[in-house]
Amino acid sequence: MAAAVPAARWARAAAAALLLGCCGAVLAGGIQDQAEQFFKSGHTNNWAVLVCTSRFWFNYRHVANTLSVYRSVKRLGIPDSHIVLMLADDMACNPRNPKPATVFSHKNMELNVYGDDVEVDYRSYEVTVENFLRVLTGRIPPSTPRSKRLLSDDRSNILIYMTGHGGNGFLKFQDSEEITNVELADAFEQMWQKRRYNELLFIIDTCQGASMYERFYSPNIIALASSQVGEDSLSHQPDLGIGVHLMDRYTFYMLEFLEEVHPASQTNMNDLFQVCPKSLCVSTPGHRTDLFQRDPQNVLITDFFGSVRKVEIMTETVSLDRNLTGFESDPVCCLKRQLEISDKEREGKPQLHQRMGRKLKAAKGCIGNRTTKVC
């Protein structure tokens, strides 16, 4: 009896241990999944704010820099409606441009980064520190058109690229005003507090660019700069036909690197950090990742330069009413009518809500894919 009891107890203990082990395994599997999910980005849309701050013909290279990044970002999938492009001067149709409507990024005129399908949102005198900060923080006058707004939400990954002339702690706008690193850091903090970004990639190509990201204190920011404090960023090559330097070195090599990236590539941030070593760039590019939660090794380039399109596949078909006018342009109107029709059919409320919910999802997808922004 005494021997049987310990045996029974041992059996019970063994069963309990087995049960616990199984639960533990399942739990661990669940935690593994959750951990993996935590390390993925979790963004649902991408935005880009590309700013060129220099005026005058001899600053051609800054416009070419910005347009190269614009071109890469468009090629990798971000639509014009999600790009805010600010060019402080017009180089393509400048009277001094021997080839009008072109901005070249390489000597011998190999690559026209201006292209045929460009939409500049802020141009010429509109590129000011005030407008830039208003775009970032969203404090914009109510009459501003949609193409000039940064309509990001808390699940947006934003790429901010700035180029121009800068110094230790400031960036010059159009030769008449400047933005300091403190202002920029505060603007990003405002964006964080208003939940205007999920993750932010900040790239700056100016002299002493690293000073601009020294003061950041908001989370989820990766910053890259083309030169350290005390160093100058140098330009690449002059073109004797056009008569000015065409690009800056850092952006030139970054463009070469980005030309190899396609929407499905797995290149990560660490590759971007190595993009221009001192032997090529003469200045020392720097980066800052302490504010970023994920490991840069796991961050894909396309998380910032490309665009996420979520496609939801529905298994049930949605019947369309033939009498509806203009359904293609507004599924929401169709839904309203469907609601009216179903009211007449006296459908049950919970079923109706379910149907409405599914239809709204489909409609959202429809609208999202179909809106073609004119500018």
Token pair 């939801």: residue = 312
CA 38 and chain centroid, separation: 19
Residues in 331-350 at the binding interface with another protein, rule: CB under 8 A: 333-334
Question: Is 126 an interacting residue with respect to another protein (CB under 8 A)?
Answer: yes
Residue 266: is it exposed, middle or buried by C-beta count within 10 angstroms (0-12/13-18/19+)? exposed
Beta carbons within 8 Å of 335's beta carbon, 6+ residues apart = 356, 359, 360, 363
Question: Is 165 an interacting residue with respect to another protein (CB under 8 A)?
Answer: no
Calpha distance 94→39 (Å, rounded): 47
Question: Is 183 an interacting residue with respect to another protein (CB under 8 A)?
Answer: no
Amino acid identity, position 17: A
- Binding window for another protein (CB under 8 A); candidates: 18-26, 139-147, 180-188, 264-272: 139-147
Question: Is 116 an interacting residue with respect to another protein (CB under 8 A)?
Answer: yes
Beta carbons within 8 Å of 248's beta carbon, 6+ residues apart = 61, 62, 65, 163, 205, 226, 233, 234, 235, 236
Calpha distance 256→259 (Å, rounded): 5
* Least distance to another protein, CB of residue 177, Å: 8
The token pair at 215 is: 């003061």
Instruction: Please identify which residue in 123, 155, 194, 288 interacts with another protein, judged by CB under 8 A.
Output: 123
- The interface mask with another protein, positions 36-75, x = CB under 8 A, is -------------------xx-------------------
* Least distance to another protein, CB of residue 368, Å: 13
- The interface mask with another protein, positions 78-97, x = CB under 8 A, is ------------x-xx----
207 classed as catalytic: yes
What is the binding site for another protein (CB under 8 A)? 55-56, 90, 92-93, 99-102, 112, 114-121, 123-126, 143-148, 174-176, 324-327, 329-330, 333-334, 371-372, 374-375
